[in-house]
Amino acid sequence: MTTSEAKRNARVATTLNTMLAQEAPVATAPLVDILSGSDSEAVNFTSAWETED
């Protein structure tokens, strides 16, 4: 690998890492179990959606 290829690879890796860091969520959203009824709003929405004609 030549010096220019190594520099290019380093720039690509840095750019990809920057992009991934910017796209990563700051905090994860809590999971909602729509089947257990623990979140009635999600269950109501799902039930209405499934029965819609």
The span from the CA of 18 to the CA of 12, in Å, is 10
* pLDDT band at 20; cut points 50, 70, 90: confident
pLDDT per position as a tens digit, 7-17: 999 999 999 98
Radius of gyration of the chain (CA): 23
pLDDT per position as a tens digit, 28-46: 777 776 676 555 565 566 5
* pLDDT band at 21; cut points 50, 70, 90: confident
The pTM assigned to this predicted structure is: 0.41
Residue 34 in contact with residue 40, Cβ under 8 Å? no
- Residue 12's SS3 state is helix
The span from the CA of 42 to the CA of 51, in Å, is 14
The domain ranges of the chain are: 3-51
Q: Write the Ramachandran bin of 34: left for phi over 0, alpha for psi from -120 to 50, otherwise beta.
A: alpha
